[in-house]
Amino acid sequence: MRQAYGRINTVYFRGSHVYFFEKKFLRQMFVSAVLLFFVMVNQSYASTNISAPTFGSGLVEITIKDDRVDRPLVGHVWYPSTASGTTQPVNKSRVWKVADAYPNGAIAEGTFPLLVISHGMYGNRLNQSWLASELSRRGFIVAMVDHPGTSTFLRDVDQARQLWDRPVDLSRLISFLAKKSKFKHSIDSDRVYAAGHSLGGYTVLLTAGAKFDNTLYQAGCFGDTRIPVTCDVMGQWSVAESKADQLAMAQSRKDPRIRKVISMDLGGTSVFSQKSLAAIDIPVLILGSGRADMLDQNQESRALATALKPHLAYHLELKDAGHFDFLGICKPEGYAILKEKLPGDEIVCVKGGAEREVQHRRIVAEILSFLEE
């Protein structure tokens, strides 16, 4: 199944319920439940009448080679461009509608905010290209890399085990763009942001100051009951099995250059230290899926919203949205192709056409409103 999902450049998580078998954790869950009872999920959407594009979308491929010779990074940078003429599709797909761009198009003059995006489990730099296209045409530089070990193109259990490197990838990406790339004079260093989908949401929360809690992980994954999604994913990668890995996982990966973060239907909230979440000092936009088709919102996005400082957390469940609505638009024939060629994978194209376009407009509107306020 994971191989099939990787072949269509997507992410897969199943809905979950979190259980802790020690009294300490049961008390924490009780407190969270009480808080959730009093928290009203924000269903007030920003206007979907987003501003008209000001620029074209430029696109370049990047390779980051720094002192981490063991972990080179490959990715895309989308940016505001003054190029004109015919755009080109960024890739080819029988299933997905593909965004267009001006390859190596001229960079618009001025400085622009930078958004780095982290893909989900076995995803890649193309998963949120639809979002990068929309934002770059409205004055954002948007950069994405394939996370080694947990990407479509490089699956390696040992690298996946080192989950602490995912947020470091984003920090390296920011450093490269700000210091060594042709964009170094085009980035507004006061407006650097991070967004992530699914496991990518977990990743960007680490850059905001969240910390892995090994006690919660051990209690929730190695007792009589299990946290289904988190335990299954981290368990298959042998995460935090050694003392050295536990220390590396628990180390802060906060990047003070990042001023805001966006979580798009994240997974993994249950293994964050509650103390670290309460200490996050930057605004967080939490986008949850109203359909809750893959993740239990009470244990993920809603739980995250209750753990953060109220004045810094903006939580919105997108009505009728599913986990895969943060991916691209499916072609009309996409569902049938997947059902025939990769049975089971067609789930990523459920409501993946016109309905997903509506969700995308909402997502773009919310992100623009959050980043520009």
Q: Which two tokens stand for residue 135?
A: 């934002």
What was the pLDDT predicted at 26? 34
Mean pLDDT calculated for residue range 59-69: 95
Give 291-301 pLDDT, tens digit per residue.
Answer: 988 899 999 99
Give 162-214 pLDDT, tens digit per residue.
Answer: 999 999 999 999 999 999 999 999 999 999 999 999 999 999 999 999 999 99
What was the pLDDT predicted at 226? 79
Q: Which residues, 6+ apart, have CB-to-CB distance to 226 below 8 Å? A: 19, 220, 232
Q: Which residues, 6+ apart, have CB-to-CB distance to 208 below 8 Å? A: 194, 254, 258, 261, 280, 282, 284
Q: 38 pLDDT exceeds 60? A: no
What was the pLDDT predicted at 46? 62
Mean pLDDT calculated for residue range 148-160: 93
Q: 1 pLDDT exceeds 50? A: no
Task: Compute the distance between CA of residue 116 and CA of residue 111 in angstroms, rounded to an integer.
Answer: 16
Closest CA to 329 of 99, 51, 79, 125: 99
Q: Which residue in the block uniquely carries the two structure tokens 């919203």?
A: 305
CATH value at residue 328: 3.40.50.1820
Q: Which residue in the block uniquely carries the two structure tokens 């080694």?
A: 148
Give 114-141 pLDDT, tens digit per residue.
Answer: 999 999 999 999 999 999 999 999 999 9
Q: Which two tokens stand for residue 126?
A: 């193309």
Query: Three-state SS for 159?
Result: helix
What range defines the domain where residue 61 resides?
Answer: 2-372
Does the pTM surpass 0.85? The reply is yes
Give 316-349 pLDDT, tens digit per residue.
Answer: 999 999 999 999 999 999 999 999 998 988 999 9
Give 80-105 pLDDT, tens digit per residue.
Answer: 999 999 999 999 999 999 999 999 99
Q: At 341, phi and psi to the nearest 5?
A: -85, -35
- Tell me how many domains the chain contains: 1
